[in-house]
Amino acid sequence: MKIKRDILIILGNGFSIDLVKHLNLEKEINLINLFENGDKVPWPANSEPGFLSCCRCPALWQLGARPNIENKEASKIIEDVITCANVNAFSRENSGHFELSNTYLRAYHELVLYLKYLFIYYNHILSDNILTKERIEEWGWGKLFKTLNDSVNITSVNIITYNYDILLERVLKKLKIEYSMRGFDKSNLKKVKIIKPHGSISFRSAKEYDKDAFSIKYNRDGLGGKIEDLVVDETLNLEIMSNINTMIPPAGESERYQLVWSNVLKKYAIDAARELREDDEVIFGGVSYCNVDRREIDEELINIDIGAKIKVVNPDTQNTFGAVISSLFGEYTHFVDSKILGGLYND
């Protein structure tokens, strides 16, 4: 008799990169250099391209954010902006005037909204004619999701994703896999559950605002919000604006900005890790473990039963994350390609 198991899947940007690569869309949808296509992203108020520009994102522009900069330079700008915002959020000395005038802090507010509309722009590029059920069923992750959902020996599948896009949700829908969104769905009975602690392009304020009122606000007024104030809208209706920031930028630490909704979802993520028992399994897919992301990942790692089986999917085998995993858990397997996932968990 086979053992009944719970599965926890933790996804990072590498998951979405892998899908885009599978669909041969790396140039159109660049998930490594987040500024490369910034001039193509529409400004929500009038739908004109050029969100990343001197007139719309002056602070980011002043820091060197350009559509033609190199990958490392783009990552460095984002890391600097988020690091400054994180430290400033803990400071009790800085006045509102300082936040309104400091270039890095103004750039933070620009980055939050720019990323939201960048990923909405990418979502529209990846139309249903491209993201077909047939293509998904050829993909390692797609095969894995279907196998886990169909298996009678898998009792639950919790998926923690730090991605803002809704590619995971679209993939599951194409495969006709029902799921619940933790924090939003009252029913918690579905086998597959999604937790998005860093937010999503599909989250918005329940109160609707007209797109003509869109602007970038350089203060913390739009950074709070309770989860009860949010709804999930996967239609991405661009006629409706949100007055609450519903995304935590890369390297962002939600508790520093006291984002109530994010802290609730973060607790769900920790609970999902804590509920695992010996012989349950965890799959990390495309998760970054750079210095600014480690704290959040570490919180999940230390709450996982040491008897759990760990699998990591990442093309880079010479990484610190692998060393940390092997120091905590006895059963650790590393896969360099998601294709192998299609052959796992077959009853």
Question: Does residue 302 have a pLDDT over 70?
Answer: yes
Residue of 250 and 277 predicted with greater confidence: 277
Q: Which of 93-107, 200-214, 216-230 shows the highest mean pLDDT?
A: 200-214
Residues 84-108: tens digit of each pLDDT: 887 776 665 554 555 667 899 999 9
Mean pLDDT lowest among 133-142, 255-264, 270-279: 255-264
3-state helix, strand, coil in the chain (%, to 5): 40, 15, 45
* Cα gap 245→337, rounded to integer Å: 34
Average pLDDT, the chain: 90
Residues 116-166: tens digit of each pLDDT: 999 999 999 999 999 999 999 999 999 999 999 999 999 999 999 999 999
Q: Per-residue confidence at 115, pLDDT binned at 50, 70, 90?
A: very high
Cα-Cα-Cα-Cα torsion 328, 329, 333, 334, nearest 10 degrees, comes to -10
* Cα gap 68→30, rounded to integer Å: 12
Contact call for residues 123 and 236 (beta carbons, < 8 A): yes
Residue of 59 and 246 predicted with greater confidence: 59
* Cα gap 81→74, rounded to integer Å: 11
Cβ neighbors of 341 (< 8 A, separation 6 or more) are 140, 141, 143, 144, 283, 313, 335
Contact call for residues 263 and 254 (beta carbons, < 8 A): yes
Short-list 223, 230, 231, CA closest to 255 = 223
Residue of 115 and 101 predicted with greater confidence: 115
Mean pLDDT across 325-337: 94
* Cα gap 107→343, rounded to integer Å: 45
Q: Is residue 116 helix, strand or coil?
A: helix
Q: Could you tell me the domains of the chain?
A: 5-25+129-201+262-343 (3.40.50)
Q: Where are the alpha helices (DSSP H) in the chain?
A: 13-22, 58-62, 71-90, 96-101, 103-125, 133-137, 140-150, 167-174, 260-274, 294-301, 320-328
CA 296 to chain CA mean position, Å: 13
- Burial (CB count within 10 angstroms: exposed 0-12, middle 13-18, buried 19+), residue 278: exposed
